[in-house]
Every structure is written in C-alpha cells, then in structure tokens.
Amino acid sequence: MPLRFELTADPIDPAVLRERIEDLDCGAAVIFEGRVRRHNRGRSVDHIVYEAFASVAVPEGLAVAEETARLHDVTRVLIVHRIGKVVLGELAVWVGVTSIHRDLAFQACAFAIASLKARVPIWKHEHYADGGPEWLHPLP
Amino acid sequence: MIEVEVRYFASMRNPGGPERERVALADADARVLYEQLRARFGWKFDSHAIRLAVNGRMVAWEHPLAEDDEIAFLPPFSGG
C-alpha cells in the first residue's frame, strides 16, 4: 500500500488509516485531518454533502499521491476522502505520509492536500442551519 | 451532426434535473457545446473557470469531440 487514494461513503476511522501507513524504516509520519466545521463565510453549517466524479477523481487522486512521493521523497502516501453526507466534527478527508525525516513529511503532506483541493473533482454541497444549501466553487 | 452524452455535476446540474442526457451538436467543439448549454441553463462560469472531461479523462478544451463521447464540464473543485 505505498501510494493510495480512496473515496468512501463510510465514516473515516483515523486509527485504522494510521496503521496502514506504518513503516518502520521511517522516522516521521505526518497526518492531516480535514473536518466539517461549524461556521463558513458567516453562516452556521449543519452538514456537507460531498459529490465526486469518481471515475476521474480516483485516478487523479492517485496521481496526486504518486507526485507527492516523487517530489518529496516519501515512502507512503494514503489519501481518503468522504463522499455523501458528512456531519459537523466528522472527518471529510484524511492524508497520511511517511518519510525518513520530518521536514520532507511536513512538506509532502501540505503538498498532497493542496494538490487534492486543486486537481481532484470533488465538490461540497454545504447545508446550513438557516436556509437552503449552496454548492461551493472557489475560484482560484 | 454528432450526438454526445453530457454528465452534470454539482451546481452544473439543475436541481431535480437529469444527471446525464444525450445532446446533439452541429460542431464537434467543446467550447461551442459549453456555450450552448450555458445559454440553456444559465451557468455562471466562463469556460476558463471550467475543466473539460471527455470519456473519464480531463483534457484540454481543444480536444475534438466524437460521436457517443461522454462529456462533463467540471466547475471549480471544493474537496478537502
């Protein structure tokens, strides 16, 4: 499992994913957990429904993992993204990387999540406590 | 005249509208198809903000369209 990208409709269990990037040759593991937060742009968020174009998102997400490994010299990259309804406090995305040294691992993890957000066709449909939902389409 | 299948994602899909449909077009040009659908649905994005996917791959706008291609116009992503 050195390089993986997965979409899941089930809740993300970080303990299970942490075990999957175990590598005794590596001194550093850096993990990013993206969660659904209570407020966005001044509105009270109830939950988010994530939609993915899976047949494009999966190979593109794997390409992000491969590029992360190639550019930042890490041994394992695992990225898991939720689809469907995700409620407050739940994990929407989990990124874990391992490397020999911490500097490489920090850089790799930041690169992986930034690349995912820019390149992988996934969208948030944000649902609010006060009114109808909105699709989020941030312009670069 | 060719016919392609268009898939709609996120805000590009009308609420309650189809997720995919067959569309006939006279010109096998993705930009022409985009503007045709934009006029129909009132999409707010200029084509430069949109990524084009043909048959499950993101490609350049110059990619020529062919009969039965599966086309998707992807609005800015917001995963993560």
pLDDT in tens, B17-27: 899 999 999 88
Share of chain A above pLDDT 90, in %: 94
Three-class DSSP category at A71: helix
pLDDT in tens, A70-88: 999 999 999 999 999 999 9
Q: Is the ipTM of this complex over 0.85?
A: yes
According to the model, what pLDDT value does residue A139 have? Answer: 84
The mean pLDDT value of chain A amounts to 96
Kindly provide the residue ranges of all beta strands, DSSP E only, lying in A36-75, ordered along the sequence: 39-40, 43-52
> Would the CA dihedral through A130, A134, B77, B17 be positive or negative?
positive
> Distance from B59 to chain A by nearest Cα, in Å?
11
Mean pLDDT on B62-72: 97
Q: Do B56 and A113 touch (CB under 8 A)?
A: no
Residue A92 has pLDDT above 90, yes or no: yes
Which of these, A51, A3, A5, lies nearest to A23 by C-alpha position?
A3
Residue B10 touches partner A, C-beta closer than 8 Å: yes
Mean pLDDT on A115-132: 96
According to the model, what pLDDT value does residue B15 have? Answer: 86
Residue B2 has pLDDT above 80, yes or no: yes
What DSSP character marks residue A13? Answer: -
> Distance from A101 to chain B by nearest Cα, in Å?
25
Residue A120 has pLDDT above 70, yes or no: yes
> At how many degrees (to 10) do helices A54-72 and A102-119 cross?
150
Residue A1 has pLDDT above 70, yes or no: no
Mean pLDDT on A3-13: 98
Q: Which residues 6+ apart lie within 8 Å of A73 measured at CB?
A: A99, A100, A104, A108
pLDDT in tens, B5-58: 999 999 999 888 899 999 999 889 999 999 999 999 999 999 999 999 999 999
pTM: predicted TM-score of the whole model, two decimal places:
0.95
Token pair listed for A30:
């850096």
Q: Do B79 and A50 touch (CB under 8 A)?
A: yes
Q: Do B80 and A136 touch (CB under 8 A)?
A: no
Residue A131 has pLDDT above 90, yes or no: no
pLDDT in tens, A14-31: 999 999 999 999 999 999
Q: Which residues 6+ apart lie within 8 Å of B75 measured at CB?
A: A123, A135, A137, B9, B10, B11, B12, B45, B49, B50
Contacts A121 to B, Cβ<8 Å:
9, 51, 53, 58, 74, 77, 79
According to the model, what pLDDT value does residue B17 have? Answer: 87
